[in-house]
Amino acid sequence: NFGLAVLYVVLAIPAAKYAKSGKLGMQSNGEKAKVLSKQFFLSKTVTILGSNFYMSIIKKLLDTFACDYGTMTLYQDPSIECFTGLHYLYLGSGCSALFFYYPLATFMYPNLQFNDKTSDIKFDPGYMVFLSQAKLVLVGITVFFPTVNDVYIMLLISFAILLVISVVSFRQEPCLLKIFNLWNTGGFLV
């Protein structure tokens, strides 16, 4: 997932330039980008990596920090001893990827999705930032409370976060396609 984070950073920069000029998801002739065109690929890849894979990428990057302090090994790979040679390499790559990926995916992606001409379902950027922060907390819980003994804590906090997201979604109606707001809210309650 380090590679996916780097790919997102590389693609988000030109996508931001297109979005700033109002041309993200548009071909050079001013038409909506056609399937498999360069612009279509750019906007959809940024969407997939900035939204759909957000939790997966953040989780893998945070996994480099999650040590079992009883055995001094990584939770995700007990063969790696924490704070030794190989772990420092993982920490360095995880930190550098988080440093670039997190702010771009959390704060720039909401504006990219809102300005993307290939997207028909658009959400308020402020809501998308809130949703990314909630996802970060959910991922942090799964990374730093990974044992079976912690499952009740994880479930309780996750339930509370999903309930807050659904209330915010219901009250704000963040999607421009109003009928979708009901489905969006319901999805968090299921």
Model confidence at 28, pLDDT cuts 50, 70, 90, reads confident
| Mean pLDDT, range 16-42, rounded to an integer | 87
The dihedral region occupied by 104, where left means phi > 0, alpha psi between -120 and 50, and beta the remainder, is: alpha
In tens, the pLDDT along 86-140 reads 999 999 999 999 999 999 999 998 988 888 888 888 899 999 999 999 999 999 9
Q: What is the pLDDT of residue 11?
A: 94
Q: What is the pLDDT of residue 111?
A: 86
**Which one-letter DSSP state was computed for residue 145?**
S
In tens, the pLDDT along 12-23 reads 999 999 988 888
Q: What is the pLDDT of residue 31?
A: 85
Q: What is the pLDDT of residue 8?
A: 93
Q: Is the pLDDT confidence value at 147 over 80?
A: no
Which range, of 33-42, 76-85, 93-102, averages the lowest pLDDT? 33-42
Q: Is the pLDDT confidence value at 35 over 80?
A: yes
| Mean pLDDT, range 69-97, rounded to an integer | 91
Q: What is the pLDDT of residue 177?
A: 84
The secondary structure of 45-112 as a DSSP string is HHHIIIIITHHHHHHHHHGGG-EETTTTEESS-TTSBTTSHHHHHHHHHHHHHHHHHHHIIIIIHHHH
Q: What is the pLDDT of residue 168?
A: 94
Angle formed at CA 61 by CA 59 and CA 67, multiple of 5 degrees:
85
What's the chain's average pLDDT?
A: 90
Model confidence at 144, pLDDT cuts 50, 70, 90, reads confident
b/e 130-151 (16+ beta carbons within 10 angstroms → b): bbbebbbebbbbbbebbeeeee
> Could you give the dihedral angle defined by the CA atoms of residues 97, 100, 102 and 104, in that order, rounded to the nearest 10 degrees?
-140
> pTM above 0.95?
no
Determine the Cα–Cα distance for residues 187 and 169; give it in Å rounded to an integer: 10
